[in-house]
A and B are shown apart, each in its own frame.
Chain A
């Protein structure tokens, strides 16, 4: 269980950082932006696979007994998946580097560019919502797997661990 949580935490942090970097083509330049976003898409794919059981469970009980928070969470996640697909597809349609490498020439349409920009903006809002919905889990996991180990490593040894233990000294030897 803990290994799974740790893996999920690492994957989530990687996705968040990748999203922030990929969302700013000015930082990396266009070719790196395209390839990087494609790689981030694969990690996003893995993220969905890791949470497959949750997706199935909530899908089964969506119209039955389910607390409102889980339902809202599910809707946000579904929207986020659809939006990310829109970002990727529109990104591929306006791609200069990836599609050229693959030998595919697509007619450039300004509509795709605007869809790409608009869906990227929407993804930012939905990512914020998604992040907020899992805030408790994120804080707990961060504390358990990142902050506490760092604190333990940097902590000075206390006097308790250096306590003197009485031992018997045999003077005859």
Chain B
């Protein structure tokens, strides 16, 4: 039991360190400031420099002004079809990455060890 608590404590320390680093990055550096304006250089945000409309190209995550922005606090709209297509897109993305890596890692038999059919009736 003590061991598990110690492990949880260690994980929490890692989480705290990452959080502190991230917080410092966002709050105190110019990277955070430029990031917030949408000119970070990522392709995902180039088309949307608005402070309230942010979109993730890969995840399909799209936060419209109605969901995060001013004017409609606490209200959100969601569509099942859009959500399901997002889940499907993510699944395909993960599947494609997995397939690529699995194909790259697939062991190939050395040429010299390949089996060649031979006839046993030969003299």
Contacts and interface: CB of A to CB of B under 8 A. Distances in A.
Interface of A: 20-21, 23-31, 45, 48-49, 52, 69, 81-82, 85-86, 89-90, 93-94, 96, 109-115, 117-118, 120-121, 124-125, 127-129, 131-133, 135
Contact of A111 (B4, B15, B36, B94): B36
Interface of B: 4, 7-8, 11, 14-15, 18-19, 22-23, 26, 32-33, 35-38, 40, 42, 44-45, 51-52, 54-63, 67-68, 73-74, 76, 78-80, 82-84, 86-87, 90-91, 93-102, 105
B115 to A, nearest CB: 24
26 contacts: A23-B87, A25-B61, A26-B78, A29-B78, A30-B76, A45-B8, A49-B4, A85-B14, A85-B15, A85-B19, A86-B18, A89-B19, A90-B26, A110-B36, A110-B52, A111-B26, A121-B59, A124-B90, A124-B94, A128-B95, A128-B96, A131-B94, A131-B98, A132-B98, A132-B102, A135-B98
Contacts of B57: 121
A131 B98 CA distance: 6
B7 to A, nearest CB: 6
Given A49-B8, A94-B68, A114-B38, A125 B90 contact: no
